[in-house]
């Protein structure tokens, strides 16, 4: 539903915010098609910031770099 809210930036509605909306019947039931503030102005939005989604970052290996040769120890047989 966030994509139908008329406002710039992060789309969320504030607590007790007055809105106007249009809806249509879909297979899920009634669904909002446009949400805006009174008199078709942009919504005010929530003053709370959304929690960031911390993603696990994978280390990128430098694929162009050749692996360094590992020095080997020679075994001396007596």
Q: Is 5 exposed, middle or buried (0-12, 13-18, 19+ CB in 10 A)?
A: buried
Asked if the model's pLDDT at residue 51 lies above 60, the reply is no
Instruction: Give the β-pairing of 20-26 and 29-36.
Output: antiparallel
Share of the chain above pLDDT 70, in %: 55
Confidence of residue 60 (pLDDT cuts 50, 70, 90): low
Sketch the domain layout of the chain as residue ranges.
2-40
Of the candidates 78, 3, 61, the one whose C-alpha atom is nearest the C-alpha of residue 35 is 3
pLDDT tens-digit series, residues 18-47: 888 888 998 989 988 888 888 878 787 777
Alpha helices in 1-78 (DSSP H): none
């Amino acid at each position: 539903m966030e994509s139908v809210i008329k406002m710039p930036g992060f789309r969320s509605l504030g607590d007790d915010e007055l809105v106007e909306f249009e809806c249509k019947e879909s297979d899920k039931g009634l669904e909002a098609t446009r949400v805006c503030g009174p008199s078709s102005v942009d919504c005010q939005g929530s003053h709370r910031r959304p929690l960031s989604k911390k993603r696990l970052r994978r280390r990128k290996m430098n694929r162009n770099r050749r692996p360094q040769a590992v020095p080997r120890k020679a075994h001396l047989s007596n």
